Structure 1
């Protein structure tokens, strides 16, 4: 009996070691996938704060929380199963779907630029797409819905990049790794966004209650600087949407045998890296982002009349044919 018990305990210990090794491998794979998706994560963090611009302080965290919850649902309920199914049965469909998402990001970013340059014409265009919000609650709902739609595209890119970095054959292990990446990235992104949007409140508290003059001065600097920082971040967010969308399109064209744009971008990036060797990596990335951004802006600008005069009227006509909900 004692020998049998010892053998059983030895077998259990062996299974625990295997399980621990598997969990360690899962954690390592998740970290690797998360690092590879870091570029899209930064873009996501830059885009989100602009959705709370214009709302009172007491609504900022609830809006960020609602967007974060929508992001979790995007990743775990929709994108994770879709990524596993497509990677198993229809791997060729991933690139076209990502390109549709990239086109949407280019359009939304170009629309923001259009609104900044020609606000009256942009408002006319936007009014033709959807009814204008009539109260703060409706406006908040629209902002949250728009943020979750944008997050869906960025999350799809994050999940696809993460999936490409996972080199385990078992589908359940891949699912667990993707789930860890999804939750971890969402916590990091929206935790950071919450800190950013509440920076002025923290500065106000420090200005009033800090024990040292330096602390109070830092608080006043936060209060003064956060509005400017939010405006700068809003510009970065719009730029991020455009260059991410342009990058998705240029990468996707290679799958259809159109490699010219990608080769041009790679060549320009290498030239910039060699031209400024002291900051070679940054210079190469900056050149790539610049070209992707210009291409994305041009493509998004071309989509504005297409959406306004073709897609939006077709969508409205389709909605009229569908039964209305009570």
Structure 2
């Protein structure tokens, strides 16, 4: 399956959404560089609207709709960040958002969707239940469905994060860019942006061992669906889509894995050394770098920090920080 996305589509997406998003900062940390043995430039999408890169794709998709489509509202299914993105985009566009969320979705993300005036519709925590519930919403409301990742409008919106990274580091020659991979919207967009707007050819997707469908699919050359994912990185439990897999197969160098212990350690390292909050899914690329020092030694690498929506709670003794994402 060949992608029809061209450089102009990403440029148009950026022009469409730039007034509604943050041009997020790129941060560095000498202490983390010393630990990793390379120079890391963090594109901080945890500072993005809705606290994640998903705002980019959601806004591009919703703002691309016709007035007739907007009049009937939009719908999607998501455990959190895409849900918030579509709710925000719908509010900006002046339409209604019907957001299907699993009943075990993080409370912080459910509350955020409602804060953007999205209507939350709960379902059982399975892909089948999500898709069935969305189809019911479409039948009842005639709303336009916006897929969380298997949509070229979404991919183009997500690609703008890497486009900004490349533009803002034009004085450097990055060797690699890394992004987490769940459904593949961010990774495929990152790979396209790197291919179109830079000379960077080392693009890595980073995935939890407990939800490794992208790793398996990449090696097999065919889509292998996610089955019973078990990982703290809730945003990476989804399966790749046909559109995202096509781009990833063509342009991505490899999929790197990290286990949950490594992911949490990387997350805590960023919290402690950079004094910024990220969620477990977001920490997966740094975990993969620390696990594979031979791949990145002495190199300049960009990492997309995908989001920072984490529900932080202190233990009863006031000393142990726990979280749910």
Which protein is richer in strand relative to its size? 2
Name the structure, 1 or 2, with higher relative contact order (CA <8 Å, separation 6+): 1
Structure exhibiting the larger radius of gyration computed from Cα positions: 1
Q: TM-score range by the shorter chain?
A: under 0.3
Q: TM-score, normalized by length of structure 1?
A: 0.28
Give the structure-2-normalised TM-score. 0.28
